[in-house]
Amino acid sequence: MVIMNQEIKQLYAKIESLEKENKALAESIGDDAPSKNIFARSKDGILIFDDNDKIIDVNPSFCEIINLDRTELIGRHLADIVPVNKQFKLDKQRELLKMKDSVRGILPIHSGKKIVEFDFTTSTLNKSGHYMSVLRDVTDKRLLEKKVKKNEELYTDLFIEALDGIIFWRGSGKIIDANESACRIFECTHDELLQKRLDDFVYEKNQRYKRIVKNLFDKGGIRDELFFLMPNGQIKSLEFTVKLNSVEGYHMTIFRNVSERHRMEKELRESELKFRRIFEGALEGILLWNDQFQIVDINQSGQRMLQMSKDELIGVSLHSILNDCNITNDELNQQINSIKNDGQSDGSLSITLKSGRKKYFEFSNKHNVFSNLSMTTFKDITEKLEMEEQLRKSDTLNVIGELAAGIAHEIRNPMTALKGFIQLLEDSIEEDHSMYFNVITTELSRIDSIINEFLILAKPQAVKFVQKDIAQIMKETVELLSAQAVLHNVQFRIYYEKELPLVFCEPNQMKKVFINIIKNAIEVMPKGGYITVSLQACGDNKVKVSIRDEGSGIPGHKIKKLGEPFYTTKERGTGLGLMVTYKIIEEHKGTIEVESKLGKGTVFHIYLPYIKKAGEQ
């Protein structure tokens, strides 16, 4: 059963009526010459013409229909009143009249600026040899036919060929009609569907279903979604739109299967959840950025490594971050070209964090990973580089230790003999040669000092760590070096924080550290100046010792090499003093940081762990 629109049915009925009337009129005209009564009173147009299509006579109805006088028509040819593109119908009519007595068809005729369409029947008049056409105005009929055809096409598009399922049903829920899509959705044939009620397919007639039904009859229409059970046992999620009294008193429901959409949405949510878990749980830092190089997202590891929150980074340009990291424009352009040409790039860079600490990172860029987003992964390799540096230094120290032990052993024996003979000669040295004797004695003492430093490197020292006041050790060191400072026009500025915690250390070694650094500070100020010494407690349970000079400063590339074997910034230095200093601080679980500005001076910061007091966390 096909539901038809009432208007379509009315159009069909009117067309059938017009066709019956036209047929009756055509049959009322005989083969003989038409009677004047019929000719004059006929509602249809009558036109008589000869075998050259020349008009002989027309009745009043025809003149009225096309808005022309009889005198304007008689003597003219049919081609004069028929549109040029339709005159082939006149030729066809002549051919057919030679073979049979009558011809029927549709002929358009000019009526002023309009075109009137006529349903015509042309017959041969036997006595005169002329032809007579009975013409009925079917312009409205043709418009109705076109409208009916258009409505039929619309009906076909909207109902029969619709991709969505459409079902018409009565108030009881009984299905009256359904299209092919509805049959596919409900896994039924058309006949099987007509035996069902809509609620037969509802999976659960729970409170939500009852609420939907109530809203439908209250509002006259509704759009919602429910689970429906198919005859084959399959459960489908269907989205539906219901309109009551839609066509001829029947209700209409349009169904769409959204089960696949729900499945895809579920998979998408699960996929997004997996990505988010991997993204947030990754040990490496991950940055997502768009085509404008703006940061779109960053995971927790990345925030922790950069010591910046997501809010501080999202929307920020990668260019600005890299420029802050002292990346040159050439290096930046090289990275961008690698990403564009190869789809990825790798490298390493150093970043100074908010805390002031410098960190080193390895990174890898991948272009257009998904949704026009690119990804940068990075990891902190600071500890790795520091460990490699420590291993390198340790290997160097091992070699130097073995070399130092041999050198110290070989030099110390002749040194002992030299010192002994020099002391024997001391009383017999003439006054004129006393300067030479002093030089020899001083240089022998210097050699002995170097040998002692070699021995510290050569083998572990038997030291005893005790709790000691670091301020007291510093005071003794300053007093010891005061005389040397005065000779070089150097003065001390001392700032000791009160009640500093005790430090677990070896006092003599700690004093040696302070002596080495302060002596270096005195030597780098040949014109005199101030040495500032400060002691204070800082975070992480450490005591901070700062020794600042007013020398010429140390270039940045040289600061990194301080403490390496035989590296020194002094003309006659050996580099062993600072190397021993770094080794002692390392054995005390402390660290040394050096700051320097050219022309302004250098400051050594020594951080030493202290003993916690009872009750401290």
Q: Identify the band that residue 253 occupies on the pLDDT scale cut at 50, 70 and 90.
A: very high
Q: At CA 423, angle to CA 479 and CA 430, rounded to 5?
A: 105
Q: Identify the band that residue 32 occupies on the pLDDT scale cut at 50, 70 and 90.
A: very low
d(CA 517, CA 554): 14
Each residue of 352-372: pLDDT tens digit? Answer: 777 777 788 888 888 877 777
**Across 50-64, 277-291, 418-432, 452-466, which has the greatest mean pLDDT?**
50-64
Q: What is the pLDDT of residue 123?
A: 86
**Across 24-38, 74-88, 339-353, 455-469, which has the greatest mean pLDDT?**
74-88
Q: Has residue 237 got a pLDDT over 80? A: yes
Query: What's the CA dihedral at 400, 402, 403, 406 to 10 degrees?
Result: 150
Closest CA to 173 of 251, 112, 108: 251
List helix spans (H) across 257-381: 259-281, 300-306, 310-313, 318-324, 329-342
Q: What is the pLDDT of residue 224?
A: 92
Each residue of 80-93: pLDDT tens digit? Answer: 888 888 888 888 88
Structure tokens at 616: 């401290």
Q: What is the pLDDT of residue 16?
A: 58
380 vs 283, 350, 351, CA distance in Å?
10, 10, 10
d(CA 340, CA 305): 27
Region of poorest pLDDT, from 57-61, 386-390, 514-518, 521-525: 386-390
Closest CA to 299 of 291, 307, 312, 310: 310
**HEC sequence for 343-370:** CEEEEEEEEECCCCCEEEEEEEEEEEEE
Residue predicted with more confidence, 565 or 134: 134
Strands 45-49 and 55-58: antiparallel
Find residue 344's DSSP bridge partners: 366
Structure tokens at 158: 């909207």
Q: What is the pLDDT of residue 143?
A: 75
Each residue of 331-342: pLDDT tens digit? Answer: 777 777 777 777
At residue 6, the 3 state secondary structure works out as helix
Q: Has residue 141 got a pLDDT over 70? A: yes
Q: Has residue 587 got a pLDDT over 80? A: yes
d(CA 527, CA 470): 30
* pLDDT mean over 15-30: 49
Q: Are 109 and 136 in contact (CB under 8 A)?
A: no
d(CA 81, CA 72): 11
Q: Has residue 596 got a pLDDT over 50? A: yes
Q: What are the backbone angles phi and psi of residue 573, rounded to the nearest 5°?
A: -80, 155
Q: At CA 83, angle to CA 82 and CA 87, rounded to 5?
A: 70
Q: Has residue 51 got a pLDDT over 60? A: yes
Q: Identify the band that residue 242 occupies on the pLDDT scale cut at 50, 70 and 90.
A: very high
Find residue 120's DSSP bridge partners: 105, 135
282 vs 203, 210, 299, 307, CA distance in Å?
44, 49, 8, 17
Q: Has residue 615 got a pLDDT over 50? A: no
Q: The sheet that has 235-247: what strands, in order across it?
A: 175-178, 165-169, 250-257, 235-247, 221-229
Q: What is the pLDDT of residue 581?
A: 84
Average pLDDT, the chain: 79
Region of poorest pLDDT, from 144-158, 348-362, 582-596: 144-158
Q: Identify the band that residue 432 occupies on the pLDDT scale cut at 50, 70 and 90.
A: low
* pLDDT mean over 127-156: 75
Q: What is the pLDDT of residue 395?
A: 64
Q: Identify the band that residue 564 occupies on the pLDDT scale cut at 50, 70 and 90.
A: low
**Across 202-211, 270-279, 474-483, which has the greatest mean pLDDT?**
202-211
**Across 252-256, 381-385, 402-406, 567-571, which has the greatest mean pLDDT?**
252-256
* pLDDT mean over 433-440: 71
* pLDDT mean over 389-414: 67
Each residue of 304-350: pLDDT tens digit? Answer: 888 888 888 888 887 777 766 666 667 777 777 777 777 778 877 77
Q: At CA 504, angle to CA 501 and CA 509, rounded to 5?
A: 120
* pLDDT mean over 111-117: 84
Supply the pTM of this predicted model: 0.39
- pLDDT over 90 percentage in the chain: 8
Q: Are 342 and 251 in contact (CB under 8 A)?
A: no
Q: Which residues of 286-306 are buried (b: 16+ CB within 10 A; e: fewer)?
A: bbbbeeebebbbbbebbbebb
Q: What is the pLDDT of residue 431?
A: 61
Residue predicted with more confidence, 440 or 362: 362
Q: Has residue 493 got a pLDDT over 70? A: yes
Q: What is the pLDDT of residue 25?
A: 45
Q: What is the pLDDT of residue 433?
A: 64
Q: What is the pLDDT of residue 33?
A: 45
Enumerate long-range contacts of 358-362, CB under 8 Å, 24 or more apart: 358/382, 359/305, 360/385, 361/285, 361/305
Q: What is the pLDDT of residue 28?
A: 47
Q: What is the pLDDT of residue 223?
A: 92
